[in-house]
Structure 1
Amino acid sequence: MNKKTDLRILKTRENIRTSFINLLLVKNFKDITVQNIIDEALIGRSTFYDHYYDKYDLLEHLVNEILNEFNLFIKDRFNLNSHEDFINFFSSVLEYYSKKRNVFLALLNVHTEAIDLYNSLQNILKEGCSYYWDNMNIDTKFTLPKEYFCRIYASTAMISLQWYMENNEDCSPQYLMETFGALKLLVSGLL
């Protein structure tokens, strides 16, 4: 039988997470203390420690949540068969992360020795691209090194997602695809 978590516990965890994210939007992670978090959340110190070991534990929980969700998206990404499928996929990704905009942006700016959301997301994209490359036998069609292509793909995807979130643009995936086309022309003109 599944044991349901008490609603008060869920609300307290969400309050702690929201308070932490709000702090990350105005302060560097290294400058945030547990005291800052409990002051922002209006809870006692023991309540914080009932849920998280320290601020690193809280950070790790939030980052792992984003990574798990992103992994699910990426599995779908490399199984698409058409441009229209990609536009629909990309729309759902943008819509999903737009709802979590503050969380996403706050966590992208935290870089610790053990936890780095930006690099972790980029690695997921590189691995997905590499898997796709191997299964599509792309290396027989081009002389471009796989590792080079996968790094460019992952970097472009991350920069695009981050730019979209930072600018809170009301642009469609179709607009971003047109932008990629313009980028391709611009890059070929520069080389």
Structure 2
Amino acid sequence: MKNKSDPRVIKTKRQLKTALISLLAKQSVESLNIQCITKAAKVTRGTFYLHYTDKHDFVKKVVHDFVKDFFRSSLVDAKPFLEQKVQISEHQVQVFSLEAGFKYIATEYQTFMVLFGLTGENRFNDEIKSEFF
């Protein structure tokens, strides 16, 4: 398997994620198959299986990566917001920034619409709840 920081791997995973979100805006997870995902992403089935074991592994990892990216983008260094009197150890202190969070949501609105079931026939949010709650 290629390195996760390899630009080709990043591009392929981005294409697959984009294809998944686009397809989920129109149909349910159950109706999707690897062939329609790879066709929409313009990658081969072999390429898909280099990164994921099956459709459920793929969907789970896309959701996990999305949540991780959301929080990574929304957490900011707290030091500039603290009073100078407050001493901070050498550890970095992060806080959730609503501004950064909303910017991420604005950038990824299509993904949020799909994940929360606000588009089409999709009930993908039920799948997320069953996976994480």
Q: TM-score, normalised by structure 2?
A: 0.64
Q: How does 1:33-112 map to 2 (within 5 A)?
A: 33-71=33-71, 73=74, 89-109=97-117, 110=124, 111-112=126-127
Query: Identity of paired residues, percent?
Result: 26
Query: 2:16 touches 2:41 (CA, 8 Å); kept in 1?
Result: yes
Superposition RMSD in Å: 3.2
Q: 2:129 corresponds to which residue? A: 116
**Structure that is richer in strand per residue:** 2
Alpha carbons 2:20, 2:37 under 8 Å: kept: yes
Give the Cα separation in 2 of the matches to 1:9 and 1:68. Answer: 18
Q: Give the letter for the 1:25 counterpart.
A: A
Where does structure 2 lack aligned partners over 5 or more consecutive residues?
83-96, 118-123
Q: How far is the alpha carbon of 1:71 from its aligned partner?
A: 5.0
> 4+ residue stretches of structure 1 with deviation over 6 A?
none
- Larger RCO: Structure 1 or Structure 2 (Cα < 8 Å, ≥ 6 residues apart)? 2
Distance apart, 1:23 and its partner CA: 0.5
Counterpart secondary structure, 1:31: coil
CA contact (8 A) 2:19 2:37 kept: yes
Q: Following superposition of structure 1 onto structure 2, how do residues 1-191 of structure 1 map, counting pairs within 5 Å?
A: 5-71=5-71, 73=74, 89-109=97-117, 110=124, 111-112=126-127, 115-116=128-129, 120=132
Structure having the larger proportion of residues in helix: 1
**How far does residue 101 in structure 1 lie from its aligned partner after superposition?**
0.9
1:98/1:30 Cα in 2 relative to 1: closer, same or farther (>3 Å)? same
What's the offset of the Cα at 1:51? 1.2
SS of 2:57's partner is helix
